[in-house]
Chain A
Amino acid sequence: MNESIIKTERLDRCYTTVRKETGLLAALKGVFSKTSVVKHALLPLDLEIRRGQIVGIVGANGAGKTTLLKLLSGLIFPTSGTASVLGYTPWERPYPFLRQISLLLGQKNQLWWDIPANDSFQLLITIYDLDKSTAQKQVDRLAAQLDCRHVLHTPLRRLSLGERMKMELIGCLLHSPKILFLDEPTIGLDVVAQTNIRQFILEELKGSGVTILLTSHYMDDIALLADRLLMMSHGAVAYDGTVEHFMSLMPSTKRLLVDFLHPLQEALPITPSLKIPAGALSFDQSLSSSELLQALKLIVSQAPIKDLKIEEPDFEDVIRLFLKKEFSLHQARHPQ
Chain B
Amino acid sequence: MLSASFLKRNLACIKLGILSRISYPIDFLMGIALLPLCQFAVEAAFWTGLIGVSGSSSLGGFSLAYYLGYFLWQVLPLGGINWRFERAMIAEINSGAVNALLLRPSSFYEYHLGQLLGQKIISILIMAPFMIVIAWAWDLPFHIERLPLALLMGFSYVILLFALHFAVASMAFFLDHVYSLNNTKNMIIWFLSGELLPLDLLPSPLREWVIALPFSSGVYLPAAYLSGRIELGLFLQGFVSLAIGGLFFGLLARWIWKKGLRSYSGTGA
Indicate the member of B5, B19, B96, B261 with the most A CB atoms within 10 Å: B19
Binary interface encoding of chain A residues 47-78 relative to chain B, with 1 for a CB under 8 A from any of its CBs, else 0: 00000000000000000001101100111110
Residue B5 contacts which of A98, A115, A124, A129 (CB distance < 8 angstroms)? A129
Check if A93 is an interface residue, CB within 8 A of chain B: yes
Chain A nearest Cβ from B109, distance in angstroms? 13
Does B269 lie within 8 Å of A66, measured CB to CB? Answer: yes
Q: Given A115-B23, A127-B12, are A103 and B105 also a contact pair (CB < 8 Å)? A: no
Q: Is B20 an interface residue (CB 8 A)?
A: yes
Which residues on B sit within 8 Å (CB–CB) of A93? Answer: 102-103
Q: Is the CB of A108 within 8 A of B268?
A: yes
A15 to B15, CA, bound (A): 38
Asked if B104 and A77 sit within 8 Å, CB to CB, the answer is: no
**Chain B residues, CB < 8 A from A114:** 19-20, 23-24
Count A/B pairs, Cβ under 8 Å.
Answer: 83
| Contact indicator A126/B266 (Cβ below 8 Å) | no
Cross-chain contact B103 with A73 (CB below 8 angstroms): yes
Q: Does B87 touch A at the CB level, under 8 Å?
A: no
Number of interface residues of B (CB under 8 A): 27
Asked if A95 and B105 sit within 8 Å, CB to CB, the answer is yes
Q: Does B254 contact A (CB under 8 A)?
A: no
**Residues from chain B with Cβ under 8 Å of A98 in the complex:** 103-105
Interface of A is mostly: mixed
How far is B16's CA from A123's CA once the two chains are assembled, in angstroms? Answer: 8
Is A101 in contact with chain B by the CB < 8 A criterion? yes
Is A119 positioned at the interface, with any CB of B under 8 Å from its CB?
Answer: yes
Given A70-B266, A183-B269, A99 and B105 contact (CB-CB distance below 8 Å): yes
Contact partners of A213 in chain B: CB under 8 A: none
Instruction: Identify which of residues 66-117 in chain B touch chain A, using a CB-to-CB cut-off of 8 Å.
Output: 96-97, 99-100, 102-106
Residues in B1-26 with C-beta less than 8 Å from chain A: 5, 8-9, 11-12, 15-16, 19-20, 23-24
B-chain residues with CB within 8 Å of residue A239 when the two chains form the complex: none
B265 at interface (Cβ–Cβ under 8 A)? yes
The answer on a CB contact under 8 Å between B102 and A112 is no
Instruction: State whether B261 touches A108 (Cβ < 8 A).
Output: no
CB distance from A110 to the nearest CB of B (A): 4
Contact of A108 among B9, B97, B265 (CB under 8 A): B97
- Which interface residue of A69, A93, A103, A126 has the most chain B CB atoms within 10 A? A126
Q: Is A134 in contact with chain B by the CB < 8 A criterion?
A: no
Q: When the two chains form their complex, are residues B103 and A115 in contact, meaning their CB atoms are under 8 A apart?
A: no
Q: How far is the CB of B222 from chain A (nearest CB, A)?
A: 31
Cα A128 to Cα B182 in complex, Å, equals 33
Residues of A within 8 A of B23 (CB): 114-115, 155
Q: Which residue of B lies closest to A73 (CB)?
A: B103
The chain B residue sitting closest to A18, CB to CB, is: B176
A142 at the interface (CB under 8 A from B): no
Q: How close is A182's CB to chain B, nearest CB, in angstroms?
A: 12
* Bound-state Cα–Cα, A127 to B5, Å: 8
Most chain A C-beta atoms within 10 Å of own C-beta, residue among B8, B104, B261, B268: B104
Q: Which residues of A contact B103 (CB under 8 A)?
A: 73-75, 93, 98, 101-103
**Given A105-B99, A108-B96, does the pair A77, B262 have CB atoms closer than 8 Å?**
yes
Inside 8 A of A155's CB, which chain B residues have their CB?
Answer: 23
Knowing A75-B269, A115-B20 touch, does A127 contact B102 (C-beta < 8 A)?
Answer: no
Which residues of A are found within 8 Å of B19, using beta-carbon distances?
Answer: 114-115, 119
User: Given the complex of chains A and B, what is the CA–CA distance between A105 and B9 in angstroms?
Assistant: 24
Nearest B residue to A16, CB-CB: B263
A70 in contact with B269 given A115-B16, A115-B23, A119-B19 (CB within 8 Å) = yes
- For this complex, 23 residue pairs linking A to B, each with C-beta atoms less than 8 Å apart, are A15-B265, A75-B99, A75-B102, A75-B269, A76-B265, A77-B261, A101-B103, A103-B99, A103-B103, A105-B269, A107-B269, A110-B100, A114-B23, A119-B19, A122-B12, A124-B104, A126-B8, A126-B12, A127-B104, A128-B104, A129-B8, A129-B9, A183-B269
